[in-house]
Structure 1
Amino acid sequence: MKSLTRQILSCFLLFIGSYYANSQVKKIGLPEIRNYKQTDYNGGTQNWNIDQDANGNLYFANNNGLFQFDGSGWNNYTFPFPTVVRDVKVDKSGKIFVSGYQEFGYFLANSKGKLVYHSLAKFLLNKNKVNDIIWKIHIYNGEVIFQGFEKAYVYKNNKIKIINPFSRFQFSFQVENKIYFQDIAKGLIEYNEGKLHILDDTRTLNSTEVWGMFALPENKLLISTLDKGLFIYSNNKLTAWNTDANTFIKKNSGLGGVAINKKNIALNSVLNGIIICDQEGKIIQHINQKKGLQNNTILTSYVDNKKNLWLGLDNGIAFINENSPFSYFGSTYGLSSVYASVIFKGNLYVATNQGVFYHAWDIPFKESEFKLVEGTTGQAWNIQVIDEELICSHNRGAMIIEGGKSQKTLDNLGYWIFKKIPNRPNFMIGSNYSGFSLFEKKSNRWEYVSKIKGYTRSVGDFEIDNHSIWVKKDEHIYQFLLDKSLVKFKSIKIHNKLSKTDQGITSIQKIRNSIYFQTNNHFYEYSETKKQFYKDTIVNQLFKNIPKTNTIYEDGIGNIWYVNKESLNVLMKNEEGGYTNTIAPFFNLTQQLVYNKLSINTIDPENIFIGLTDGLIHYNSKSKNEYISKPKAFIRSFSFINDTVQFGNNANNAEKIKIPYKSNNEKFRFSTPTYENIENIKFSYKLSGFDDKWSNWSPTSTKEYTNLREGNYVMKVKAKNSYGIQSDAASVAFTISPPWYRHILAFICYALIIALMVYYTQVRIKAKIRKNKYYEKIEQRRLYLEKESKIRQEQLELEKKIEKLQNEKLKTQILVKDKELVTNSLQVVKKNKILNGIIQKIKDIDTNSFDESTKFQFTKINKSIIKEVNADHSWKDLEKHIKNVHFDFLKRLKDKYPTISPRELDLSTYLLMNMSTKEIAEIMNISTGGVELARYRLRKKLELNKKENLTGFLMSI
């Protein structure tokens, strides 16, 4: 019975999910909402209308002019005078028609891509001059209709035709291929072939303002008013549309809306955001300020070319990603980090870091906050349904939850997860903060038995088979073997590798009801009989071309989810039993997954819940893949010094751009009109002629090059959207002219100048050669004369040297002669001394005894000796000669030492002549002691120290 109930619920959910998948607007959760504040686009607060060009650029009619958004940046364009822009429409030719107070016309790109305004109102005659606000623009059958309150202006073939109301226009609407006006006196009016036709039974709308009209099946019109609600016009009858949508609009005041996919309608309100309803008036989705909008007043809504919704707010702009398989339950639903989710007895339960929360699981999904399960405040790690009991793994224990509160705590330890023991259906094991515990089912209720002995460390996730409990911890795998009583482990074995080639173990997972051990995407099973790991071929082949994974999980319907580099992917199981690798949809969830706590709850292919760090996400895998499309890349502008080439709302120009060399600093801005998950859009660029390879992917949408050389360049840009899909390359070719000094004409001039210089050089060289030969002869003559002069000079110097040598030789000879003279003089002195001695001895001889003859002879000899002594003047001649020879020396010595005495001068001369002390003593007629004393006095007068040689000093003077 329970199984049948589950099958019925699954079929019901599958039907409902398929219905909403086809309708595209999801009922469950909130789509991605992105707000653009006034400061983001630097414009006015109110945005009145929105349109999109063929390239995907969006245009907003704003209080401060026309704003263009290309996905990367905003551009503002204004009327020639400041005024509000009320409406904008882009035609197929690229003209952007705009209207405002007393003005209407169009923007069109000029030759440099800049949007230039062309006024149409100025061509009107004074009597038809626009005096009010032009509220609406319609492009209809080759005509452009500008609708004001007093008149409507039809522009066609460069002519303007005027349509006058019956009394006064209010607003106008284009529904499929028809134009309707509201006349404040006649009700609704249809415009057809230049004429106005009153619609019967619509004058009851004269007391209100019509803000929107939409097509319904069977030629019905849905009419939205400001304060009277919603009406259906069919078969010329106007009736109130008594639905949930009508109740909402009556309560919150309507401001029109937009049709979505011809099956749903977005209705704007003044007080409470926007609702999306089906064609039966049932509200599918309600988005307001509480759920993410920055403002509750929706002035306009628009569906872009990706089926996403844009809102012009009373203050700002909003983007709603309706064309996505994802919707979110975040802070607006009261959720934070989600670790697990499960459906039980009509409720969706979610385990978070703040406790367990629940919400009624019904269709349609009520837009209310999740409620906290009473008694579960704290860290709820897991929530599981085991044998029709809802068990929460909490940091405060294992809890049984019933009726919105915790009814029972099985054990007060912190728990991670519970799993039943194979072949023992009444027992289950729970991993906790200090190992494992055993639980038994008694009287259809789970009861705590005891802690399993033998292991006391904290255990997170684990797998269990018929023989072992397997735990991945650190870099190892622990294999626990229970004994028969189940209350203790009989053995614990640690494995650190799967094979000789596969070291380490990355993860344990159960796939196809078997436990697999994985490292580097190599999968092994364990043989209980052989007690070893062996490779599996099927799963290995499945992951053969998949990047290395760190987490793998098989959901309830056989899909295999895996994480690599914190990015979530899935092998979707198809009807044939094979798998389809699905990557792109989950690119945007990177960095949002709960680290090491993957939470996947698959109810059916249309209802998959994924836990995130900031809530819960709902994924419909059967949703159409319209959101995954190839993006387009554009180079939006090309700037250089004093000029900018813009590309407006047109594609990039194919014509090559020429710029002067002085403007060789270029800046490029690029974009892709992709608005889903805009923060994950990246660009890569390459400047051919400068870059060798494409740049790394980056979210930066500008690139600047400086000091480029002259030449031909092609700037190429690629975009990659948030799903990892790359665009084709957009390109802009340009040429930088060379500077004047590297221009072709400059090189011709250079060639002529070089030729003239060569000719001039040749002439000069020949003249130089002739001149050099002349000067060479002169130089040779000069060198000859210089050489001859040098020889003469050398001869003269040689003669001087010879003369000097001769003088020196002469001096030497003189010194020798002096020495000889001194020696001879000394000998004479000795002789005289001897003779004087003889004379003295003769005087002592008594001559009285001599006879006269003898006495006469004796006297004669004595007189001869005395005469010889007196007649010898050699000593005086010697002194005179010495003074003459050494005159210069004596003069220098006297000049240097003025106090020196004549005797000291004589002594200095004798010392200079290298005479011995004995010789000096004999010459000076003093004792040798007297010579030494004289030497001592002379040294003192010459101020010589004891170590200095007196004779050497005298020779140096």
Structure 2
Amino acid sequence: MVFVLSCIYGHAQSSLSGLPFTRNFQPVDYKAGIQNWSITQSRQGLVYIANNFGLLEFDGEQWQTFGVRNGTKVRSVALDGRGRIYVGGQGDFGFFFPDAAGKLAYTSLADSLKPEHRDFDEAWSIYIDNEKVYFCTFSNIYVYDQKTFRIIQPEGGIDHSYLVNRQLYVNQPRNGLGVLEEDRIRTIKGGEQFRNKSVAAVLPLHDNHLLVATFQEGIFTLNDGIARPWNAALQPFFKASIVNCMVRLRNGNFAVGTQNNGLMVLGPDGDLRMQLTSGRGIDNTTVLCLYEDDMSNLWVGQNNGLAYVELGSPFTFINKQMSIPGSGYAAYLQNNTLYLGTSTGVYAREKNGPPDFKLIENTRGQVYHLGQYGNDLLAGLHNGATRIDHNTGQLLSGEPGSWVYLTLQDHPNTLIEGTYAGLQRYDLVNGHWKFTKKLKGFAESSRVMAQDPSGDLWVTHGYKGAFRIRFHPTLDSIDRVQFYGADKGFPSNLLINVFNVRNELLFTSTRGIFKYDRTSDRFVPDTFFTSRLGKDEQVWFIREDALGNIYFISRSHIGVFKKNSLGDYHLEENVFAKIRKHLNDDLMNIVILQNNEVLFCAKDGFIHYDPYRTVEARSHFNTLIRKVVTSTANRDSTLFFGNYTKGDSVADRSSGKNAPELPYRNNSVNFTFAATSFEGNADPQYQYYLENYEKSWSDWSAKTQKEYTNLKEGDYVFHARSKNVNGDISAETTYAFTILAPWYRSGWAYSCYGLSILAILFAAFNFLDRKYQREQKLMEQKQQEELSQKDSALENLSQRSHEEITRLQNEKLESELQHMNNELATSTMHLLNKNEFIAGIKNQLAHIVKKNPNEEVKKELTQINKNIEQNISADDDWEHFQFHFDRVHGDFSNRFKVTFPSLSPQELKLSAYLRMNLSSKEIAQLLNISVRGVEISRYRLRKKIQLDRNKNLQDYILNF
């Protein structure tokens, strides 16, 4: 049930805002029990939740559950300054603290109690006051001072307890509201008014006033002993809602969790600012606990799930959860009524009225435009131009596709409408616009248009270009239409739009922003945007507010150029990055409302932006290393579980001392990391690098794990950092470790290697020394033997000298004989040549005799021939030559003939000449044949002696 009485519905941060961005978590997401009873957050940004299944931990990426020893439900959780996580549950309480590996380990403190104090029901609340810890049950209060317990056992039991300004307020059914003093509970002034009432919360107000919320009796202020209803008009609603919990927010408001009506945000006076319940921001009507983080956002523990409500964000959603179905396209604030146009119709609500919107009758369908023109609120609908009168729409023209309206500068009683197919004219009749006619001469779709100072109308078409239109002076028709496209300075004819910014017309395109230069009749780049966004940026939409701030959406940016008192502009864009993925990418639109609040048209309704709500510094936006796992061939081993300690406290980061040393077989290391950014569209990006392995940061990515394999021995430091959706970069976190060398490259191994080398060198030296000594002895023995041998040698030397002299004399004689034989052979060979020459002359003479007819001459020549025959004997000469030749060449002729008996005398002669190493020409002269004949004779000789064709004949004979 949503309470919507307008008389008591107060002002939220803006009366025009919607529902905050909310991230809902179901039990299937965090894999634990449905109920969540208490929430807190560590200095590192980790969120801890008391859950039915144990203690939940959330780091922005992953959930972990840590069970207490007896496996019971955890009802309460609190953190002290050292990082101890105190928890209370059924019949037990204690704390979690990281062990040496960084894993949370549970220690029960209840086990240290005496048996008579050990039996209690549930520890519903835990409060920490410096070193003092209060564990509150329904029967006892256990005060722990880090060493011992002080136990308070009030008579009549305890309802609930609350710590306010370091005082523990306790409500007792019999006595009412009191405060703990030493070992007793003193009822405060006026506290008896809460006797037999169950108190849900006690909170501080101003001037020592208290705010006391009861479960079913309403919410009261308590001052000077008097309890008064807080916002009497809402008391019935508070009672019906049943208050489960309540916290005071940093901005002075109060968040209330109820049993029946979800989450309420109340103002300082108790007025209802906001309500979130099932189907409206959160997924459950029952809220069990609340926690405001350092970003002023609210964690909501529910009966079935969790929610993260971004109360600190300047953005809110106006969507179907506020009865605005469909995509947002147009908006207008008229007086105190906000009108919104979507893909399903026009909706409206009063500024200070109930939060839900109502459909305006006769406006169903696509809505393109809303605006005030004269006295009329006009809507551009797919069905045609429509005037909105109170809660009803009246169709003005049957022409379909009403895009936009424009009042002409010098003709305030004339209105031009852009439609799917051209322009239409409306005239002001009796204070209202009335359709007059459709203007001929231009039939293009006219969704975007603006009028320049000369009176010309500019109409841009998303796929054709820009048109400059001049009307007839009577405004009954169009005199001239001039087209501007790529030939007039635009990069193309596509996606051209026109906007009136800084009192001039700007034209956006696929690349860059342009303005019209009347002198050259061309479009030139605009210096304002070009200098700030670059000449190639594609801008899709621009809107200027009353202060001169320029909001825009482009391909790479979404933000605002804020104008300061000096007229300078600076760009703010980081905060807008989170809404980009929600924007309507069909027909983009930015609407400036009163007080310069902004509406961005979204895929699902609208996004409201309050420029006066600043985003607080992200103190808990940290990057954390959550797990380090080493791997071997057989198994994985977790080295680090995500928590650093320093002494008895949790540390933000590693001290760098005592870095773990991993054996070489564990040289594969896997890191898991997270960013404590909890928004639903946080989309953190990560960078990392391993020092001594990589030289620079990795590219930004959404990966939350990085594994390194086969690392060499050495010292390493893993670095990680993250970037949130706003572009903020966290401080880097590190993890140091060492990979030890393998045994064969370890220090002791090298020592063994050194000792082994020394041993080998010693053994080698010893071996060489003994070898040297043996060789010395052998050498001495050998010298003795050599001395004795020399004596014998000297005796034989004279005898050998005599023999040698004799041998040398013989060799000299033999050499002289050999020389003489060689000379004889040579001379014999000359004689043989001479005889052969003479025999040749003899043959010539015989030939002449036969041919000469003169008998006397014949007779004389014949006589000469006989004389020659008597004086030469060739056979004797050859035999004489052969005798001396064989003596010189070791009886070659006989040996060769014996080896080859089939050789002819001519072939033996050839062999002898070859043995003398004569050339073929010389042999031809000796044999009295041609050189060709010598070659043939050589060939026949090779065949007879069967010499291999690969061997040289002359070499063979020389070596025979």
- TM score, norm. by length of structure 1: 0.74
Aligned partner of 2:219 in structure 1 is 230
Instruction: Return the match for 1:585 from 563, 575, 580.
Output: 575
Distance in 2 (CA, whole Å) between partners of 1:670 and 1:133 is: 36
Q: Please tell me whether residue 52 in structure 1 is matched to residue 55 in structure 2.
A: no
> Cα deviations across residues 122-158 of structure 1 (Å, max 9, x unaligned)?
1111122233211111112531111112211111141
1:638 and 1:242 map into 2 onto residues whose CA distance is 54
Q: Which residue of 2 aligns with 1:274?
A: 263
2:159 counterpart SS class:
strand
- Count of residues in correspondence between the two structures: 763
The correspondence for 2:630, drawn from 640, 652, 656, is 640
What's the counterpart of residue 139 of structure 1?
128
Show CA shifts across 1:428-479 (max 9, x none): 2222111222222233222223222223232321222224322333363332
Q: Which amino acid aligns with 1:686?
A: Y
Name the residue aligned to 2:738: 735
Q: Within 5 Å, which residues of 2 pair with 1:404-415?
A: 404-415=391-402
Identify which range, 239-248 or 447-456, moves more after superposition: 239-248
Q: Which residue of 2 aligns with 1:933?
A: none
The answer for the alignment partner of 1:708 in structure 2 is 711
Query: Is 1:478 matched with 2:477?
Result: no
1:429–1:747: structure 2 CA closer, same or farther, 3 Å change rule? farther
Q: Alignment partner of 2:578: what SS?
A: helix
Residue 346 of structure 1 deviates from its aligned partner by 2.9
* Secondary structure in structure 2 of the residue aligned to 1:680: coil
Q: Aligned match of 1:347 in 337, 347, 350?
A: 337
Matches within 5 A, 1:254-293: 254-261=243-250, 263-293=252-282
Which residue is 2:413 aligned to?
Answer: 426
1:280-299 alpha-carbon deviations (Å, 9 max, x no partner):
11111111113032211111
Whether the 8 Å CA contact 1:135–1:148 is kept in 2: the answer is yes
Alignment partner of 2:544 out of 554, 577, 583: 554
Q: Report the equivalent of 2:456.
A: 468
Q: Percent identity?
A: 27
User: Is the counterpart of residue 440 in structure 1 residue 414 in structure 2?
Assistant: no
Structure-1 residue corresponding to 2:854: none
8 Å contact from structure 1 (residues 56, 673) kept in 2:
yes
Length-normalised TM-score, structure 2: 0.74
Q: Say whether the 8 Å CA contact 2:263–2:287 is kept in structure 1.
A: yes
The answer for the alignment partner of 2:503 in structure 1 is: 513
Letter in 2 for 1:279: P
| CA deviation map 1:72-120 (0-9, x unaligned) | 1112112112111111110001111111112111111122111111111
CA deviation string 1:289-344 (max 9, x = no partner)? 13032211111111112111111111111111100111111111222211110012
Structure 2 Cα separation of the partners of residues 292 and 242 of structure 1: 25
Post-superposition shift, 1:605?
4.2
Distance 1:218 1:516, change over 3 A: same
**In 1, Cα distance between equivalents of 2:504 and 2:765:** 96
Shift of the 765–605 alpha-carbon distance from structure 1 to 2, 3 Å rule, reads farther
Indicate conservation of the 8 Å contact 1:628/1:723, yes or no: no
CA gap of 1:480–1:748, structure 2 versus 1, over 3 A, is farther
CA change 1:459–1:503 in 2 (3 A) is closer
Q: Deviations over 1:492-519 (max 9, x none)?
A: 3333348779777854322122112356
Verify the 8 A CA contact 2:154 2:184 in the aligned structure 1: no
Alignment of structure 1 residues 564-575 onto 2, 5 Å: 564-565=554-555, 567-575=557-565
Distance 1:800 1:189, change over 3 A: farther
Structure 2 SS opposite 1:731 = strand
> Matched residues in 1 for 2:170 and 2:292: separation?
22
1:750-769 aligned within 5 A: 750=753
Partner of 1:726: 729
Name the residue aligned to 1:776: none
- Whether 1:126 aligns to 2:127 is no
Given that 2:19 and 2:281 are in contact with CA atoms closer than 8 Å, whether structure 1 keeps it comes out as no
CA contact (8 A) 2:490 2:523 kept: no
2: CA distance, partners of 1:750 / 1:145: 64
Closer, same or farther in 2 for the Cα pair 1:462/1:628, shift >3 Å? farther
Alpha carbons of 1:615 and 1:124: their partners in 2 closer, same or farther (altered >3 Å)? same
| Residue 61, structure 1, aligned to residue 50, structure 2 | yes
Tell me the secondary structure at the aligned position of residue 444 of structure 2: coil
Deviations, residues 543-578 of structure 1 (Å, cap 9, x unaligned):
569965343332454321222226421112334433
- Alignment match, 2:605: 615
More deviation, 744-753/124-133:
744-753
Q: CA shift at 1:606, angstroms?
A: 5.5
1:198 to 169, 180, 187: 187
Classify 1:514/1:755 alpha carbon distance in 2 versus 1 (closer, same or farther; 3 Å): same
Task: Show the 5 A alignment for 1:16-95.
Answer: 21=13, 28-95=17-84
Determine which of 662, 682, 685 is the counterpart of 1:682. Answer: 685
Query: Which deviations, in whole Å up to 9, do the C-alpha atoms of 1:811-831 show, x marking residues without a partner?
Result: xxxxxxxxxxxxxxxxxxxxx
Alpha-carbon distance in 1 for matches of 2:299, 2:590: 31
Q: Which runs of 5+ in 1 are unaligned?
A: 1-15, 772-798, 810-957
The within-5 A match list for 1:298-447 is 298-335=287-324, 336-360=326-350, 362-363=351-352, 365-368=353-356, 370-447=357-434
Do the aligned partners of 1:688 and 1:714 also contact (CA within 8 Å) in 2? yes
Distance 1:377 1:437 in 2: 22
- The 2-side partners of 1:265 and 1:500 are apart by 58
Query: How far apart are the structure 2 equivalents of 1:732 and 1:765?
Result: 56
Whether the aligned pair in 2 keeps the contact of 1:683 and 1:718 (CA below 8 Å) is yes
1:154 to 131, 137, 143: 143
Residues 147 and 153 in structure 1, CA contact (< 8 A), matched pair in contact too? yes
Paired residue for 1:873?
none
Q: Which stretch has the larger CA shift, 744-753 or 649-658?
A: 744-753
Contact 1:354 1:379 survives alignment (8 Å): yes
Supply the distance in 1 between the matched residues of 2:748 and 2:707 (Cα, whole angstroms). Answer: 30
Q: CA-to-partner distance for each residue in 1:198-228, whole Å, 9 max, x for gaps?
A: 2244334332321211111221211111222
C-alpha separation between the residues in 2 aligned to 1:113 and 1:342? Answer: 56
Q: Deviations for 1:17-68, whole angstroms, at most 9, x for unmatched residues?
A: 9x965xxx98731101111111111111111111111112111111111111
The 3 A distance-change label for structure 1 pair 667 and 393 is same
Alignment CA distance shift 1:225-1:808 (3 Å): farther
**SS, match of residue 182 in structure 1:** strand
Between the aligned partners of 1:801 and 1:511, the Cα distance in structure 2 is 124
Measured in 2, the distance between the counterparts of 1:449 and 1:27 equals 36
8 A Cα contact 1:679 1:699, kept in partner: no
Paired with 1:349 and 1:729, the residues of 2 have a C-alpha distance of 47
Code of the aligned partner of 1:469? L
Q: CA deviation at 1:257?
A: 1.2
Q: Aligned in 2, Cα 1:630/1:722: closer, same or farther, shift over 3 Å?
A: farther
Separation of aligned partners in 2, 1:397 and 1:637: 61
Q: For residues 536 and 522 of structure 2, what CA distance do their matches in structure 1 show?
A: 26
Q: Over residues 902-945 of structure 1, what are the superposed CA-to-partner deviations in whole Å (9 max), with x where a residue is unaligned?
A: xxxxxxxxxxxxxxxxxxxxxxxxxxxxxxxxxxxxxxxxxxxx
Q: Residue 551 and residue 803 in structure 1: after superposition, are their counterparts in 2 closer, same or farther (change >3 A)?
A: farther
User: Structure 2 counterpart of 1:277, which letter?
Assistant: L
**RMSD of the TM alignment (CA)?**
3.4
Q: Is the 8 A contact 1:521 1:543 kept in 2?
A: no
Alpha-carbon shift at residue 258 of structure 1 (Å) = 0.9
* Number of the residue aligned with 2:647: none
Q: Are 2:90 and 1:101 aligned? A: yes
Q: What's the CA shift for 1:801? A: 13
CA gap 1:441/1:242 in 2 versus in 1, 3 angstroms: closer
Mapped to 1, the partners of 2:200 and 2:149 lie a distance apart of 26
Looking at structure 2, the residues matched to 761 and 710 of structure 1 have their Cα atoms a distance apart, in angstroms, of 34
